[in-house]
Structure 1
């Protein structure tokens, strides 16, 4: 079976690209090309935006009732549920996510998002009446924001695109999706399922491409809102463009989250949890808690337990169900992560496990050994800069208030955890750390609650009613005074 594609999904149909330029999808494990897809040009983006603009300005989708739109997305949800295994396999092939993680999160979690947003949409107050301060009632409406540019990253491509496309569609918007050049294959399956579900022509469009294609989409005058997940540097660029044009935007960006271990924590349970939260998806996650804050009284014990737990994780072929750590998505990412390991050593941090060499038993692929550093000062680059790989820094603290201060000493604020036998003490810590999401003895994303970051980790929120509201504009209609 070939994974090659030769068209884009535009205006409800498969359309030939305007150029012969191609994107090569390269397996991070074999380093071999596994597929080619067209590389979108400005003309392709123009066609997709024109279709979305026409569908919004003239088509039925924004004019349907919420219940009618919900029915179409329910059909899409059923089709998506029937294709979870294929979607997970595509993501493992294109970006190297271990199949265990792909079948846990890369496709089931997006489907859970669909179902959560459907439940939210059914109860959402699309239009309501409230008493006005001047004596007459006011009708307050949530109306669709317009044409949305959805730009997901490569690390969790379906997870991040679904958090944008589904609430946008339920709100009555139309969408142009520009997947990352490393991971376009999953969106082709997504487009097929939307077409089968009966989404009208032009309502959702897919054009793959690189950075220049993405900037053309962001700048396009036909776009009303940009929804982006990716690096903070790219988010600043997109935010500046949207600010110039007074265009709505929501940005989910980088992170350098901290896990705080209190002195009463059960260490075995804590380390088992941190094996997931600190190096999930091979460390390629914005919410990964790659700073572990340990009480000085138990510091050596924590370091030893983390080194054993993370250092013993199985690294290898992402298609192997036993693999816990897969490759980095690209050679450049492998080199970046290895560069930070060298920086950590040069800064004086103590390498406890891992390092820059290839993992045992592997002679090809973009792999990095799971690495734990001890004796890390929070001012070091490895503690302040997002590495986006399986590299964990253990930092000592003296008291819980000191731990909160260190956790907050970062330009980022997407996530975090605290590990303790005392729930109330954990909640005190959770309330003091400036992040958009936080867990006590766990970390998860519940799609009923808002997700997003403080500080340089982003602008806006996804999930929950708040995530749906991001794709609406509020309109007040003033009624005459009663006679």
Structure 2
């Protein structure tokens, strides 16, 4: 960690390190409960300055860049992030408790891959498309940058979730004010270092950690043209209301309570081997995790046993140890919230098959023992609300129609998984799930495919070409017949 300063009392505005006028906040290591850094917090004045800088860059040098020039810059940006991959992974694991084996992939090398993908995409995407008119004449359809973007990101996957906004926004020609969560603001400044190294013009990227009041100020700021938000459904509703009133484009990637349908013909060895990565990834602090397991009554006891034994044997410990599968949660408040759900599940009489306690082995850190509840009705609180911790429920179903009904009987619709020995059967079931994404015998985001939810899981899509178009607006130029 010697190559990363953990004290960041400054903000990054207009290509410069600026003293934060909103004070500072301590960053506490999830595994030790000890302060290991501090970050500056933006004031309203800082947000004003960041938006002015972003507007000047949009109207000035960045607005004059061709798509090829933007692609070249993004490639340099991605290379600079890749050079910081291992340091970024360690820093995030200290901030939020993510096991380092996962953090290296998603926080380390994931952002660099996104910048490379969007650099290649903007090189091959036509900015203007001539179309013949149906009534004579011609039309040129242009794809122009939407403008100044306010990107508001959470603490659970800080590097990739920021990159999912930064890379397509910059590829489209937008400028960005990034507002990272204070819990994981330290790693956000690696984007500033990479921007400077890549030669990104001043003001194209600005980074302003902030509290809730100033975050709301940013979202409603008249100088913002679009908001891109990842976070809780409650916060997303509030942001959506503001953007709706202002007629401001918004992308909302929100919560989930996804189901894993275990079909009668499922290979339970395959399912159990994938459980940690699909249902308990990042200590359960993952919006798309399949935390509701739906099991056929004909194999119900078998499924409960497989899930229980798999979860019981997961390695809990120091997130910087490569052997660790479950690390601590991000904060004491998050730990207490998750334990509250566990106590509620016990009080409601659901059968606890493993877990249910706080720290199972470490004497410090915000740990929660991986927990499984069986015989949980789909109407139960622990089956309906997003817990955001290492807690799974198992619910029986009679036939595939009931399995689909139970999977869809949720206010959320972000993800889901199907487990079957017949891929075609899995695809057919996936088509019936009310969700933005579904995995068959697998779940992993694809950079080239859209990610996002329906219902209370959000509006809009990130990743893929759809992620680029979210930062473009169409303009039609009508021409007379020649």
TM-score, length of structure 2 as denominator length:
0.98
CA distance in 1, matches of 2:121, 2:171: 10
Compare 374-383 and 4-13 and name the one that shifted more: 4-13
Is 1:48 paired with 2:50?
yes
After TM superposition, list the pairs within 5 Å mapping 1:260-271 onto structure 2.
260-271=261-272
CA distance in 1, matches of 2:292, 2:107: 24
Contact 2:276/2:325, CA 8 A, preserved across alignment: no
Q: CA deviation at 1:18?
A: 2.3
Q: CA deviation at 1:104?
A: 2.3
Q: CA deviation at 1:122?
A: 1.9
**2:36 aligned counterpart, secondary structure:** strand
Find the counterpart in structure 2 of residue 323 from structure 1.
Answer: 324
Contact 1:124/1:465, CA 8 A, preserved across alignment: no
Is 1:15 paired with 2:24?
no
Contact 2:143/2:473, CA 8 A, preserved across alignment: yes
Q: CA deviation at 1:358?
A: 2.2
Find the counterpart in structure 1 of residue 334 from structure 2.
Answer: 333
CA distance in 1, matches of 2:452, 2:126: 22
Find the counterpart in structure 1 of residue 300 from structure 2.
Answer: 299
Q: Deviations over 1:203-244 (max 9, x none)?
A: 100011111121011011000000000000000000001111
CA distance in 2, matches of 1:241, 1:191: 28
Q: CA deviation at 1:356?
A: 2.6
CA distance in 2, matches of 1:54, 1:340: 48
TM-score, length of structure 1 as denominator length:
0.98
Q: CA deviation at 1:162?
A: 0.4
Compare 97-106 and 237-246 and name the one that shifted more: 97-106
Contact 1:63/1:172, CA 8 A, preserved across alignment: no
After TM superposition, list the pairs within 5 Å mapping 1:446-465 onto structure 2.
446-465=446-465
Compare 97-106 and 472-481 and name the one that shifted more: 97-106
**1:413 aligned counterpart, secondary structure:** coil
CA distance in 2, matches of 1:50, 1:18: 17
Contact 1:167/1:468, CA 8 A, preserved across alignment: yes
CA distance in 1, matches of 2:290, 2:263: 15
Find the counterpart in structure 1 of residue 367 from structure 2.
Answer: 367
Find the counterpart in structure 2 of residue 422 from structure 1.
Answer: 422
CA distance in 2, matches of 1:471, 1:117: 12
**Residue number among 25, 38, 41 corresponding to 1:39 in the alignment:** 41
Q: CA deviation at 1:111?
A: 1.9
Contact 2:149/2:228, CA 8 A, preserved across alignment: yes
Find the counterpart in structure 2 of residue 218 from structure 1.
Answer: 219
Find the counterpart in structure 2 of residue 390 from structure 1.
Answer: 390
CA distance in 2, matches of 1:249, 1:449: 19
The two structures, once aligned, show a CA RMSD in angstroms of: 1.0
**1:107 aligned counterpart, secondary structure:** helix
CA distance in 2, matches of 1:235, 1:374: 31
Q: CA deviation at 1:363?
A: 1.7
Q: CA deviation at 1:38?
A: 1.0
Q: CA deviation at 1:125?
A: 2.4
Give structure 1 stretches of 5+ with no counterpart: none
Find the counterpart in structure 1 of residue 147 from structure 2.
Answer: 146
Q: CA deviation at 1:410?
A: 0.4
CA distance in 2, matches of 1:194, 1:377: 50
CA distance in 1, matches of 2:89, 2:118: 21
